[in-house]
Structure 1
Amino acid sequence: MLLRLEDLFDKIDFFSARDTSFEHHAALVALFEILDVTSRSDLKSDLLQELDKQRAMLEGLQDNPDVSEKALIHILQDIRAAFRGLLDIPGRIGGYLRDDEWLMSVKQRMNIPGGACEFDLPAYHYWLNMTPEARRADFKNWIAPLAPIRSGINIVLNILRNSGTKFSYLAVNGVFQQAGSEHQAHLLRLHISDEISCIPEISANKFALNIRFVPWRSGHKAEVYEEDVPFELTFCSL
């Protein structure tokens, strides 16, 4: 879920920074998707719990000569600021957006394929024809209260991504399998050369890790890449 929310926040940043109504429509779609994702979980308490766990762990490293004191102080300050921000969020995440009748009327129509046309939502069409600066001001007001959520997500994912151990493997004839629980991970990061035109498909549980590489062929049925594929795999855990 954190990866999905990170992607959606990035999309809002990208599209809302542009000027056209089509791009601002895409930014609003991403905002509504954030509402949908966060409505089905206890994200706030999960982030608070994880941030508190990381704070306690990092505070235990303050006297470690192998750890940069400056970097440690910086990340601890970020964690404490995000923690306080999350505590200050009242009620459900995005509750203020759900209380906006106009936004919810637009969201409801967007759930219908092609349902946000100007003849369906004249008020939305009016908004899309306002100046880009006016629309961006609205986005700023809508997104600002979500800043502690985004900050908490960024901190947790940054710690997770930098916690990993990297290994080099070879997928023989495009297939790699690893049985048992040799490496436990909350996140897998896979890297292959840009010169290899294939896509990794990963399935994993506590009993096995399976990776198969399929060639990129638009409009074709996926088939295993029939060559050996060297790759790097990083096992990241909190």
Structure 2
Amino acid sequence: MIIYEYPFNERIRTLLRLEDLYEKFIFFLHQEHPQQHHVALSTIFEILEVAGRADLKSDLLQELERQKQTLLGFRSNPAVEAERLDAVIAEVDRCSAALMSAQGKTGQNVRDNEWLMSIRGRTIIPGGACEFDLPSYYAWQHRSAEQRFNDISGWFAPLVPLFDAIALVLRLLRESGRSTNTIATGGSYQQMLQGKVYQMLRLAIDDQLGAIPEMSANKYMLWVRFTSQDGDMKPKSFDSDVSFELTLCNF
């Protein structure tokens, strides 16, 4: 099964972008070749661009507090496993405390590093990080893989509380949804939302079908239209019925 996700608002869209960048960063960080570590470092610069919104930290803190109050309300429910509930509440408290203790603007330590900023300025230019442009960076790339790993991990460390909070918020959001088996007749599906507010749509489909969902939604309705690709990767309409699993998520 392939799972596709569609955010209903800009806040969730930003969190999903950061989650995607973080997964990319972790993958390349744990490689050993200098070019792979170059991608990891460049990904930090991309993260700074996306996370540059001043209210991202406060948004996450508010959401974590809201989730905590919601979870506390379940303590009186006999159907809820108390031990598991307490563990999630404790996790929310840990993430909130760590995020609150993070000082300054997101990634300020990277912005204050003139050497890193010189690399960032060159990486936005196609081919701008060549050895004759950045000899000191070229020399750094010839350090051992362990040294480069430790350097990049140190530069990223102040961002860890932010990504722990993002991971927890998105996990709670995904777990909030209920899945339903659905059929798109003739490759197209519409559903009225009847005034209900959702944060994210998740769609799971058998990867053997070759159907690719194109999704859009507003507060009134959601649309899913399936396409396929030919040998030249050009999209074309998928006219057969498509069975898929739909999940609407909301805090």
- TM-score bucket (shorter structure): over 0.9
2:7 paired residue number: none
1:111 paired residue number: 124
Measured in 1, the distance between the counterparts of 2:246 and 2:230 equals 24
| 1:170 CA drift (Å) | 1.1
Measured in 2, the distance between the counterparts of 1:218 and 1:74 equals 50
Measured on the aligned residues, the alpha-carbon RMSD in Å equals 1.4
Alignment map for 1:65-214 (pairs within 5 Å): 65-181=78-194, 184-214=197-227
Deviates more, 1:121-130 or 1:210-219: 210-219
| 1:220 CA drift (Å) | 4.0
Deviations 1:34-58 (A, max 9, x none): 1000113511000000000001111
Which residue identity lines up with residue 107 of structure 1 in the other structure? R
Measured in 2, the distance between the counterparts of 1:176 and 1:8 equals 30
1:230 paired residue number: 243
Task: Confirm whether residue 32 of structure 1 aligns to residue 45 of structure 2.
Answer: yes
SS of residue matched to 1:113: coil
Measured in 2, the distance between the counterparts of 1:40 and 1:77 equals 27
Task: Confirm whether residue 57 of structure 1 aligns to residue 70 of structure 2.
Answer: yes
| 1:182 CA drift (Å) | 6.2
Deviations 1:118-164 (A, max 9, x none): 11111111111110000000112112111110111111011000000
Segments of structure 2 that go 5 or more residues without pairing to the other structure are 1-13
Which residue identity lines up with residue 25 of structure 2 in the other structure? I
Measured in 2, the distance between the counterparts of 1:68 and 1:39 equals 39
SS of residue matched to 1:39: coil
Measured in 1, the distance between the counterparts of 2:113 and 2:179 equals 47
Q: Percent identity?
A: 43
Asked if the contact 1:183–1:235 (Cα under 8 Å) also holds between the matched residues in 2, the reply is no
Alignment map for 1:1-20 (pairs within 5 Å): 1-20=14-33
Asked if the contact 1:171–1:229 (Cα under 8 Å) also holds between the matched residues in 2, the reply is yes
Deviates more, 1:193-202 or 1:214-223: 214-223
Q: Structure 2 length as normaliser, TM-score?
A: 0.91
Superposed structure 1 runs of 4+ greater than 6 Å apart: none
| 1:180 CA drift (Å) | 4.5
Measured in 1, the distance between the counterparts of 2:118 and 2:219 equals 44
Task: Confirm whether residue 46 of structure 1 aligns to residue 56 of structure 2.
Answer: no
Asked if the contact 2:19–2:167 (Cα under 8 Å) also holds between the matched residues in 1, the reply is yes
Which residue identity lines up with residue 201 of structure 1 in the other structure? E
| 1:179 CA drift (Å) | 3.2
Q: Which has the higher contact order (CA 8 A, sep 6+)?
A: 2
Which residue identity lines up with residue 88 of structure 2 in the other structure? I
Q: Structure 1 length as normaliser, TM-score?
A: 0.96
SS of residue matched to 1:97: helix
Segments of structure 1 that go 5 or more residues without pairing to the other structure are none
